[in-house]
Structure 1
Amino acid sequence: MIFLQMTSTLSLSPYRIFTRNLRKMTAVGVSSPLSSSQLTLALFYGRLFPNNCLHFIYSSYSLHWLSKVPPALYDEHGKSINKGKVYISESSPPNVSQAYLNQFQADFSLFLRCRSEELVPGGRMVLILLGRIGQDHIDRGNSFLWELLSRSLALMASQGALEKEKLDSYDVHFYAPSKREIEETVRRDGSFETERMEMFEIGREKENGESYGTRVAMTVRAIQESMIRLHFGEGVDLDALFDIYGRMVDDEMAEAKGGIKPITFVVVLKKL
């Protein structure tokens, strides 16, 4: 995620680039005449910029990633209350979905508070994030893709390819909010008004001869590979895991009940 900070002071450099990706930062530095002092590596939760310096902020596919796995997923003995699952599922106790919602609200509220301090009055934000259609956490959208990853890991565990005990303690730092949850968090923060909010279903057609399952598997692997390897050990066969996962996604897409329908929200907020 890259932010451009525009300034009106002629004696200063006209812009700074802030990025949370070191490779992007290096690439920008190589291709532009900026000194290292003009490039700042930062996380998007917490403060990034001086007060009242921005007119526009754009966040693309970031805010569904939580700052951490919700601590409430573990009991007082450090044992998972969501055993065998990496995310909210039909078998999860109710406090699992509540733990994820609480973490999302805390993170999103912090994001809104910090960005409101950095934006000028009337400044706008465009946010793109994954979500879900209704209030039910168990749907056949983004949440179901994590259910299929749980099933893929469970199959690998049943084959002895990874430790079952480690599966019980693996959780993703992701949350697919509903339209209502986003609106309520914005309203509770009180710094912004929602100018527009649209919901889109992500395209699922073949691209370059690759099935939808293959593309989803590649995307999820890019995000989860390092964390899975760290948690389960270097010996885990990631090629086998994501081959299983991709085939499961394609099988579900072929089902008559509608396949899988991931949802994306586009939100336009104006600072009050």
Structure 2
Amino acid sequence: MVIKVERVLHMVGGGGETSYATNSRLQEKAIYRTKPILEIAVAEMYRTLLPEKMVVVDLGCSSGPNTFLVVSEVLGIVGDLCRRLEQKPPEIQFFLNDLPGNDFNNVFRSLERYEKKMEEENGGLLVPHYVVGVPGSFYGRLFPCNTVHFFHSSYCLTWLSQVPQGLGSEQGVPLNKGNFCIAENSPPQVVKAYQEQHRRDFSTFLKSRYVELSIGGGMVSTFLGIKSKHPANDELNYLYGLVAEALNAMVSQGIISENKVGTFNLPIYGASMQEVKSVIGVEGSFDVEKAESIWDPFDDSDNVLSGKNVASTLQAVMEPLISHHFGDAILHELFSLLADIITARHLLKDKCNYTVLNSNSLSSCHRRHGH
């Protein structure tokens, strides 16, 4: 079964125990950790243009408290700058983008609550702003030419536009048997297929944003990536490997079929900083102003609780894809088993760390024109 990414991929909606809204602390930490780069990029863009109207786009916005965290950060940065520069605040149009399956209803139900919170914290809304949802894939055009002042994305570029082609079977045996993404025992052709899909997708992403970006605009992108030269050796893919181990254990127990696991592949890839810079350099539309890697604990609570926390974080992200392929019936048992595996075999020995890659990019054409 081939996963139709645009139809199936979305985080678990609502605000329940397994929802993304409840289990997205990892992503929240990344936004806070990368705030200094966001501040520099937005401030540079604003000082350069001093626009009366600004368009800011958050790509892969998802739903839950993190969705408005970026909105709040940008409003705070621009509001502070306007006070210091004694400028009238611009009107800011925020576009929140994600795939059509995203829980946009939850996003806009919570908008009034977050705006009220911002008013209380800031003593009134200092910067007029308007929020709109934009469903669609960012691996293609989303906005008219030269209309966006600033793009932001966090973690969403880990997802590919599709499962790479060529992950079938040889003589009836799946090429990537027992795995659903890159693993230590993945053959070279599987690794190559994922790497080439990432290069194509990221290049398409850059081309699309370049056309949409206005002169003097910029972009900050945060990736859940890897620090190792070989993807299979990194903690990120090790965690996915534990999910695969839980699935294979359920095969041994006769709960799901081996063939069902063999045909399950995820459109996900953690790139290295070298790969990110390479694609940006070859594509040529953007210059990297600043880039950095952050290595941080995946979960920093006690070990027994960590197994459940990490499993819940993975469930909030992976549940729709797993449910689509295997059905809902296995979800509780799968993620309970995963929590036990993480606690017993990994987190009790050592904290699992993840790598965050952060890139502040400026259109190279805009630089050539002196902006």
TM-score of the alignment, normalized to the shorter chain, above 0.5: yes
- Give the structure 1 partner of residue 338 of structure 2: 245
Relative to structure 1, the CA distance from residue 164 to residue 192 in structure 2 (aligned partners, 3 Å threshold; closer, same or farther) is same
- Give the structure 1 partner of residue 361 of structure 2: 269
| 2:166 alignment partner, SS class | helix
Q: Are residues 1:47 and 2:129 paired?
A: no
Q: Please show how residues 114-125 of structure 1 align to structure 2 within 5 Å.
A: 114-125=208-219
What is the TM-score when the length of structure 1 is the normalising length? 0.85
Q: Are residues 1:135 and 2:229 paired?
A: yes
Maintained 8 Å contact 2:285/2:363: yes
Q: What is the Cα deviation at residue 259 of structure 1?
A: 4.7
Q: Please show how residues 63-212 of structure 1 align to structure 2 within 5 Å.
A: 63-75=157-169, 80-207=174-301, 211-212=305-306
Relative to structure 1, the CA distance from residue 130 to residue 29 in structure 2 (aligned partners, 3 Å threshold; closer, same or farther) is closer
Maintained 8 Å contact 1:200/1:264: yes
Greater fraction helix? 2
Mapped to 1, the partners of 2:260 and 2:327 lie a distance apart of 10
Q: What is the Cα deviation at residue 24 of structure 1?
A: 4.8
- Give the structure 2 partner of residue 8 of structure 1: none
Instruction: Mark the runs of 5 or more structure 2 residues left unpaired by the alignment.
Output: 1-59, 62-69, 72-90, 116-128, 365-371
Maintained 8 Å contact 1:25/1:41: no
- Give the structure 1 partner of residue 319 of structure 2: 225
Relative to structure 1, the CA distance from residue 35 to residue 128 in structure 2 (aligned partners, 3 Å threshold; closer, same or farther) is closer
Relative to structure 1, the CA distance from residue 233 to residue 42 in structure 2 (aligned partners, 3 Å threshold; closer, same or farther) is closer
Mapped to 1, the partners of 2:205 and 2:310 lie a distance apart of 28
- Give the structure 2 partner of residue 9 of structure 1: none
Q: What is the Cα deviation at residue 202 of structure 1?
A: 2.6
Among 71, 75, 97, the residue aligned to 1:19: 97
Maintained 8 Å contact 1:18/1:42: no
Instruction: Mark the runs of 5 or more structure 1 residues left unpaired by the alignment.
Output: 5-12
- For 2:357, the aligned partner's letter is F
- For 1:148, the aligned partner's letter is L
Deviations 1:127-147 (A, max 9, x none): 011111121122241110111
Among 309, 313, 316, the residue aligned to 1:215: 309
Q: What is the Cα deviation at residue 121 of structure 1?
A: 3.0
Mapped to 2, the partners of 1:78 and 1:66 lie a distance apart of 26
| 2:140 alignment partner, SS class | coil
Mapped to 2, the partners of 1:112 and 1:210 lie a distance apart of 42
Relative to structure 1, the CA distance from residue 39 to residue 29 in structure 2 (aligned partners, 3 Å threshold; closer, same or farther) is farther
Mapped to 1, the partners of 2:215 and 2:284 lie a distance apart of 13
Q: What is the Cα deviation at residue 15 of structure 1?
A: 2.7
Q: What is the Cα deviation at residue 23 of structure 1?
A: 2.5
Maintained 8 Å contact 1:79/1:169: no
Mapped to 2, the partners of 1:109 and 1:73 lie a distance apart of 22
Among 317, 324, 348, the residue aligned to 1:254: 348
| 1:128 alignment partner, SS class | strand
Mapped to 2, the partners of 1:262 and 1:101 lie a distance apart of 19
Q: What is the Cα deviation at residue 188 of structure 1?
A: 0.8
Q: What is the Cα deviation at residue 101 of structure 1?
A: 0.6
- For 1:104, the aligned partner's letter is H
Using the TM superposition, name which of 166-175 and 70-79 deviates more.
70-79
Maintained 8 Å contact 1:144/1:260: no
Q: What is the Cα deviation at residue 28 of structure 1?
A: 6.8
What is the TM-score when the length of structure 2 is the normalising length? 0.63
